[in-house]
Structure 1
Amino acid sequence: MVNIIWVTMTVIGILFAIANGTMDDVNKAIFSGAKEAVTICIGLISVLVFWLGLMNIAKAAGLLNGLSKLFQPLVTKLFPDVPKDHPAMGFILSNMIANLFGLGNAATPMGIKAMEELKKLNNNENSPSRSMITFLAINTSSITLIPTTVIAIRMNYGSEAPTEIVGTTLVASFFSTMAAIMIDRYFYYRRMKKGGGRK
């Protein structure tokens, strides 16, 4: 579906440019955009490699295990349907910690694995379970302590203080996560009430 949307937008844009006689501007934008994308990617790779390296050091030092134990009571309450020793719980915790440090690219594979394990717990049904919906809401909002990717982009564009967004990002992501949890719980209990207590 996403591919169809992108192709449709591209075709409409090209047809509009032909009709207005601005194809030269479109060509320039394509090539300059491609060059800029490569530059940004190189800058992002360097920062992400640095933070992923720190994550590996933290893992070897036992810091990530400590953070997992710290978050486990909270995660257990958020996902009461998931057994504590189930693989899904480990992937959920890893995903949350990666998002905490702004490593969205590292968090994505763990998020996919968490969803796969949650689907197994849901007997591989096509309809999402309570835990799958909760995880999606939290993963989308996700509290971010260090917005690594955004800092890297700001550095690439010559920001004088690329890290000045850390405080505001932490506050904004905290409130967005709290809002996501409250909305998730509201609709869950509303559905339970309508269904006579059935999940």
Structure 2
Amino acid sequence: MVNIIWAAMAIVGILYAMFNGTMEDVNKALFESADEAVTISIGLISILVFWLGIMKIAEKAGILQILAKLFRPVVVRLFPEIPKDHPAMGYILSNFTANVFGLGNAATPMGIKAMEQMKELSGTDTASRSMITFLALNTSSLTLIPTTVIAIRMHYDSASPTEIVGTTIIATIISTLAAVVVDRIFYYRSIRRG
């Protein structure tokens, strides 16, 4: 459905440009933005590689294990049907830690592994309570250090590219609490119905 919406918007835009006589401007904007997208992507790769390196150093130094121990009591309460020593718990903790540092690309493979492990636990193709909770938390954006946004702001010569960290932390707290509350409301509501 989303593909149809995007295709329709592109077609309407092109038809409007053709009838309005601004097709040359559309072509110019198209190629300039494509060039800029490649430039930004290359800049983001360097930032991502830097933070992945920092994550690897943190892992070797034991900092990730400390963060995992710090998050473990909260994660165990959020996912009560997952045994504490199950591999899914490790993948969930790794995913959350990577997301906290704004490394969504690094967190994605761990999130997929966590979902696979939770699917094995549930033994069904239907989403389990843990899977829904995990998806809600990941959707809420567990970011404290938005490395990608900082990199984009640096690319555009922002006077203070890191000034968004404070608002990011506030937004993360609010969105994460909202995700947990909504998840629990729907969970307890489904128990009452069933």
Give the TM-score normalised by structure 2: 0.94
**Corresponding residue SS for 2:82:** coil
- Scaled by the length of structure 1, what TM-score is found? 0.92
Structure 2 regions of 5+ residues with no counterpart? none
Percent identical residues: 68
Instruction: Assess if the C-alpha contact under 8 Å between 1:146 and 1:166 holds in 2.
Output: yes
2:59 equivalent to 1:43: no
Give 1:90-169 correspondences, 5 Å limit. Answer: 90-125=90-125, 127-169=126-168
- Residue of structure 2 in register with 1:56 after alignment: 56
1:2 CA displacement: 4.2
8 A contact 1:96–1:142 mirrored in 2: no
| Paired positions, count | 194
Provide the C-alpha distance between the structure 2 equivalents of 1:3 and 1:163, rounded to a whole number of angstroms: 34
Amino acid aligned to 1:186: I
Root-mean-square deviation (CA, aligned residues, Å) is 1.4
Structure 1 portions without partners, runs of 5+? none
Counterpart CA distance in 2 for 1:9 and 1:83 is 47
1:170 aligns with 2:169: yes
Query: Residue by residue, what CA displacement relative to the aligned partner does 1:117-176 show, whole Å, maximum 9, x if unpaired?
Result: 212222131x31111110011011133221111100100111000011111111111111
Deviation readout 1:28-57 (Å, 9 max, x if unpaired): 111011111011111111111111100000
Moved over 6 A (4+): none
Distance in 2 (alpha carbons) for counterparts of 1:124 and 1:4? 31
CA distance 1:3–1:120, change in 2 (3 Å): farther
Alignment of 1:160-199 (within 5 A): 160-195=159-194
* Amino acid corresponding to residue 154 of structure 1 in structure 2: R
Paired AA for residue 27 in structure 2 = N
Q: How far apart in 2 are the matches of 1:11 and 1:159? A: 35
Quick one: which amino acid aligns to residue 61 of structure 2? Answer: A
Query: Tell me, what secondary structure is at the counterpart of 2:80?
Result: coil
